[in-house]
Structure 1
């Protein structure tokens, strides 16, 4: 973390200063536009949200650590923010600048209780990946095994609680969270739990072992790194080095391999949701690598969401009702999931148009590169905007929605051209 934001006091002041500045801008905007007409007010509000979004992104981006992680999580929950704010904070999902090696070395030695050159045969000083709460280095174990070592930035976990409170205060003062207090509490509880789990690499190690065991029994071409517990701790995670190609490279392979990979990604996610009842919920393309034999390597199990039997039952009923265009059941399920404010407000013909668009990639021979469902969906958004308040961002569905849409975009990047209908039925229809 940079010097000006490394101590709790300085971090607090920086965040408090951001919050005060946002509050001032919001009040000034209200006063300035007291006599403006509706169009002028909307324009001013949009400009205000752009400014505020950029200010949040710049402040959180500078600060690294837990507060940047909060920003990243907030950008994943973009349904609850105006588009201007969501767009600005989305840039927090990109890579963070690396931390000096001296700090990383000290953290490794403190966690493992021995000098770094005793723990590892060699340890690459330059990270090959840096993120918001830690960075990843290649290394070699004393027996010659090549590994990757994920090292958490010193002090990140301590800053977490106050960071989260400050960000929430800033967002509340802006008046940009579009949901009621009760739902806000549930969402921020989910963000807090997610942060707590990601900051504890022992939980990630357990996740890796559970998912590795689960997938090995079903498909040997789903590859999940092996944990080396004796070289791991709460803040250090040492894993087997599993090499593969990026999604960009895989997108150049022949269509049969791309389709096989696409099916494997969809099947793995479906199996996790419906059978394991826990799923890897960070579908960023950088968390996957691919081999020309159709293998898929999955990295980073810091973000895992557990689902109850009740939730899975709702999801299955919803999907089946969607395939039958049974609007009454769809609305009942959305109400049960806290995703609908009122029944009988969204027109039936729009429901049916959305169902066709949403189910198209899973029910016909679909060209993901052409992406017709997305383009038709964008046209439907314009027709649906005046009904938008009928739907609510539900804490129970946000991570599932985000993960499914992330994998959809992965299939687009891979240029999959396939009919996934049988796979869809295998996952949803035949098992209870």
Structure 2
């Protein structure tokens, strides 16, 4: 019976994908040549909206993993047409709840005592319903709690659904467009597997509470461990507002303090704690009256290795310095780019992309609902043609490193949250300060000072080293000068050269003191300022000696 049900679900998905592709293909071949560009665009928009609405209905009817897949797909604005994706937005927060009797049956399979006997004021209406679980509220020992229960049979449904999704990804990857289908399927399967074991959520909730114990701006609900199993999780209930309870106009042009905390939390999670909450959609963020930001639902949490964290730091720092070669090296080390793309081609693409990003950031006044008029994808195709890189070769070169599916999901959701709460500012404006405070100093400073600071210092001191070699050889008598001027004139010439040396050194040291100060790297900045001070003091003493010998 279950196998027949899974096959029926699979047929529904296959039928939708094939019909959508076939209809679009026929339209583009049979209708497009006979329509004006305006009529074709209107026709295509109507078709995509209809198929998006049909996809939403299918996801809702199938439920479970398909709703989660739909939630993820609904954020892929950089890949799929926006007319199709806007129809899927209801999947984010309008999932229909299941009957309470199903929740009670799942509880009874874990505990002998009924829910109604353990929790007072138990609400049979769902407080929240998601793709794989449902939350009800009640009171335990006088304390309001959230009771999260996995849907009955969701694990078996998920296994069958994932097989179908893997086949679809393989077909798309093999016959249509390279999307790293195998890697996407593998990471998606691992992500779903973790979310269907609430013991993982309990583990990461505890771990997050411990990691953030010294951060007073954040709050995480306390678990009631005696009621936590593989399919049930009970925690304290946290009161507060959600993102859509706010009106962006309330801040009157000021930065949103909650967004500053949100981006700081992710800087800490990724670069310090090396694990991150991978599902920051509006329903999982609570803004408390105390000013604290609360994260809930730790079903989707991803670990990130030390090497991955290091390479991400290197990539971001290289982007800040517009060091395209270092960016390319980082992406290649991460495994994000294959051998089909040469390094010099990748550098050109990175340079173009950063230049375009800066232009968009500087010229855009509202970051909500960016359209094709702003993004101008035609420019990208023209650029790729100029550097002789086909779109097919570019896509076939892009790979999906471990954990990057979760990172992509986080970035897409954060961009949505930021564009709603503060449409006048980009995420990058909020990220600059916490990036400097968390990533560019603190526990990882010594490592970065060794890796990047030594490289910068080596290139910085190249000219002084040449001057030092010259002075060294001069002291050893390897250079001989035949000066016919009187001795006092030769001394003054030597003092002038000394002033040039110390002036050059002082200027270079002072420049790098400012460079590191702007990045909030206090120790190297202070060191360079001290060296600059000593150099300028030596310059002043040499200048004073020169004046006395006139």
TM range (shorter): 0.7 to 0.9
> Does residue 394 of structure 1 match 2:392?
no
Q: Which residue of 2 is the match for residue 407 of structure 1?
A: 414
Q: How does 1:186-225 map to 2 (within 5 A)?
A: 186-217=183-214, 219-225=215-221
CA distance, structure 2, for counterparts of residue 176 and residue 54 of structure 1: 27
**Cα distance in 1 between the residues matched to 2:77 and 2:314:** 26
- Closer/same/farther in 2, CA of residues 372 and 105 from structure 1, 3 Å limit: closer
Q: Cα distance, 1:169 vs. partner? A: 3.0
Q: CA deviation at 1:425?
A: 1.0
Equivalent residue number for residue 66 of structure 1 = 65
- Tell me which residue corresponds to 2:11: 16
Give the superposition deviation at 1:90: 4.8
Structure showing greater relative contact order (alpha-carbon pairs closer than 8 Å, 6 or more residues apart)? 1
Tell me the equivalent position of 2:450.
none
SS in 2 for 1:96: coil
Q: Are the aligned partners of 2:162 and 2:189 in contact in 1 as well (CA < 8 Å)? A: yes
Q: 2:137 corresponds to which residue?
A: 138
* In structure 1, distance between residues paired with 2:196 and 2:368: 39
Residue of structure 2 equivalent to 1:152:
150
Task: Work out whether residues 75 and 412 of structure 2, in 8 Å CA contact, stay in contact via their aligned partners in 1.
Answer: no
Q: Please report the TM-score for the alignment, with normalisation by the length of structure 2.
A: 0.66
In 2, the alpha carbon distance for the partners of 1:57 and 1:373 equals 20
Measure the CA separation in 2 of the matches of 1:52 and 1:90: 14
Contact 1:226-1:239 at 8 Å conserved across structures:
yes
Distance 1:374 1:322, change over 3 A: farther
Task: Give 2:517's aligned residue.
Answer: none
The residue aligned with 1:108 is 107
Alpha-carbon spacing, 1:105–1:258, altered in 2? closer, same or farther (3 Å): farther
Residue-by-residue CA offset, 1:365-422 (whole Å, 9 max, x unaligned): x9x9844996899345442245455363634434323323432443343338776533
Candidates 293, 298, 303, aligned match of 2:295: 298
User: Which segments of 5 or more consecutive residues in structure 1 lack a partner in the other structure?
Assistant: 1-5
Higher deviation after alignment, 369-378 or 126-135:
369-378
Aligned to 1:242: 238
Shift of residue 426, structure 1, vs aligned partner: 1.6
CA distance in 2, matches of 1:107, 1:353: 54
Q: Does 1:227 align with 2:223?
A: yes
Describe the shift of the 1:264–1:154 C-alpha distance in structure 2 as closer, same or farther (beyond 3 A). Answer: same
Alpha-carbon distance between aligned partners in 1 of 2:16 and 2:258, rounded to the nearest angstrom? 48
Q: Relative to structure 1, is the Cα distance of residues 168 and 47 closer, same or farther in structure 2, using a 3 angstrom cutoff?
A: farther
TM-align CA RMSD: 3.8
Structure 1 residues 9-408: aligned runs within 5 Å: 9-20=4-15, 22-23=17-18, 26=21, 53-76=52-75, 81=80, 86-141=85-140, 143-170=141-168, 172-173=170-171, 179-180=177-178, 183-217=180-214, 219-250=215-246, 251=248, 254=251, 259-340=256-337, 342-343=341-342, 344-345=344-345, 346-347=348-349, 350-356=352-358, 370-371=366-367, 378-379=374-375, 381-386=377-382, 387=384, 390=394, 392=398, 394-396=400-402, 397-408=404-415
Quick check: 1:127–1:137 contact (8 Å CA) kept in 2? yes
**Number of matched pairs:** 418
Unaligned 5+ segments in structure 2 are: 385-390, 448-550
Per-residue deviation, residues 10-50 of structure 1 (Å, max 9, x unmatched): 24213214414543564576578778888989979988766
Q: CA deviation at 1:314?
A: 1.4
Which stretch shows the higher mean deviation, 310-319 or 63-72?
63-72
| 111-120 or 18-27, larger mean C-alpha shift | 18-27
- Residue 347 to residue 276, structure 1, CA distance change in 2 (3 Å): closer
Which structure would you say has the larger Rg? 2
Distance in 2, matches of 1:49 and 1:176, equals: 23
Cα separation, 1, equivalents of 2:102 and 2:349: 58
Q: Secondary structure at the match of 1:139?
A: strand
TM-score, with structure 1 as normaliser? 0.82
SS in 2 for 1:192: helix
CA distance in 2, matches of 1:246, 1:21: 34
